[in-house]
Structure 1
Amino acid sequence: MKLACQLNDIFPGTGVCALIEGHQVALFRPSEAAEVFAIDNRDPFFAANVLSRGIICEHEGELWVASPLKKQHFRLSDGHCLENAAMSVQGYPVEVRDQQVWVAA
């Protein structure tokens, strides 16, 4: 696990990008709770590092992020793409310890 950021660095309802060993990871904090999700930051449809700027949404009881480019949806728990499973991104385990966000990336 690698230290990504402090929990308070992620405003509830938003995402941020963390650079972990040269790799961009999008971190999302859907609510005030200390629950954080991590997926690749790179939108595979456009090869652009923008997913951390997407909008968090809920679909059929699961949390997703809509890419800010063309709004494809990626599940926060595992990076699965709703519109095209072949374009899914990597999801990463996350732990929040003592207000610090740790990612296994």
Structure 2
Amino acid sequence: METETTVTWHVACQVSDIPEDGGGCALIDGKQIAIFNFARRGEWYATDNECPHRQQMAVARGMIGSQDGEPKVACPFHKKTFSLQTGHCLNDDAYQIKTFPVMVKENLVYIGI
């Protein structure tokens, strides 16, 4: 049985606030959200900023890249690697981060919560 969820869009930042092929962080509804401008792919992603491995707010500072065509981010401290599409940890099945929809419109980045 599928359940419908309502997405509320929040203005997170301006496009220029997030470096190309890098990340930044926004506080939305009291939660730190990591936002990634994957310019090489022409795509935007958003995830929890907290790495579940050691509960550190660091994911937004991670390095982005691809693994077998899948966009990913590596935690800068312990190198746990997460899919930017699904949040699954690509090098340790014990971990996962939440992902959020992203919409870019009129130079603003919106995150769906």
Into which bin does the TM-score normalised by the smaller protein fall? over 0.9
Runs of 4+ in 1 over 3 A off after TM superposition: none
Q: Letter of the aligned partner of 1:25 in structure 2?
A: I
Counting matched residue pairs gives 105
Give me the TM-score of the superposition, normalised by structure 2: 0.87
The answer to whether the aligner puts 1:13 opposite 2:21 as a matched pair is yes
- Extract unaligned runs of 5+ from structure 2: 1-8
- Measured in 1, the distance between the counterparts of 2:71 and 2:84 equals 6
Partner in structure 1 of residue 36 of structure 2: 28
**1:67 Cα deviation from its structure 2 partner:** 0.4
Which amino acid in 2 is paired with 1:71? K
Unpaired stretches in structure 1, ≥5 consecutive residues: none
TM-score (norm 1): 0.94
Q: Percent identity?
A: 37
Residues 49 and 3 of structure 1, relative CA distance in 2, 3 Å threshold: same
User: What corresponds to 1:73 in structure 2?
Assistant: 81
Q: How far does residue 85 in structure 1 lie from its aligned partner after superposition?
A: 3.0
